[in-house]
Amino acid sequence: MDEATLRDIPLFSKLSRKQRKLLALRADEVDVQPGKLVCRKGESANELYVIEQGTAKVVRDDQYLDELGPGDFFGEMGVVDDAPRNANVIATTPLTLMILTGAVLRDLEREHPELAARINATIEQRRHWLEPAL
Ligand code: CMP
């Protein structure tokens, strides 16, 4: 993937061009068809996904939790907490996703504490929404 794609993603907007280039080298990109289950509740997690294009819905059992779109990320709870996926995430349109493995994410968080803080704040908020289910 190229550095310019990362420029449009709020999570990475504070990184320098050079830092985005380095990150782009370490990230993968995948295209996903509508209807595809990207995260399955209960499965072990080793990847965080960032939506470059398209939308996905977050569903837990029969409960609809959220709709995510370009610039949003998901899968962070499982990776950061080293825990099973909390919900299903399903593509609702064709999706282009950036994939960060746990190892890449950990390096990134170590190098950029403000990025880690942003991810942790999202986890806190989502955890709150998942209660009382959790
Ligand atoms: P994870 O638990 O790894 O896999 C499922 C993902 O769904 C989870 O990480 C979050 O990224 C996302 N998710 C869980 N709960 C919510 C929520 N309430 N709102 C939005 N996204 C959520």
Tens-digit pLDDT profile for residues 5-54: 999 999 998 899 999 999 999 999 999 999 999 999 999 999 999 999 99
Given ligand 1 and candidates 11, 37, 47, 58, which is best to mutate, with the most ligand atoms within 8 Å of its CB? Answer: 58
Full 3-state SS string of 55-103: CEEEEECCEEEEEECCCCEECHHHHHHCCCCCCEEEECCCEEEEEEEHH
Please give the distance, rounded to the nearest whole angstrom, from the Cα atom of residue 28 to the centre of ligand 1.
20
What is the rounded CA–CA span in Å between residue 81 and residue 78?
5
Nearest CA to ligand 1 atom 16: 126
Ligand 1 in contact with 56 (CB < 6 A)? no
**Predicted pLDDT at 112:** 95
Relative to the CA of 74, which ligand 1 atom is closest? Answer: 11
Tens-digit pLDDT profile for residues 82-114: 999 999 999 999 999 999 999 999 999 999 999
Ligand 1 in contact with 130 (CB < 6 A)? yes
What is the rounded CA–CA span in Å between residue 94 and residue 82?
28
**Predicted pLDDT at 116:** 96
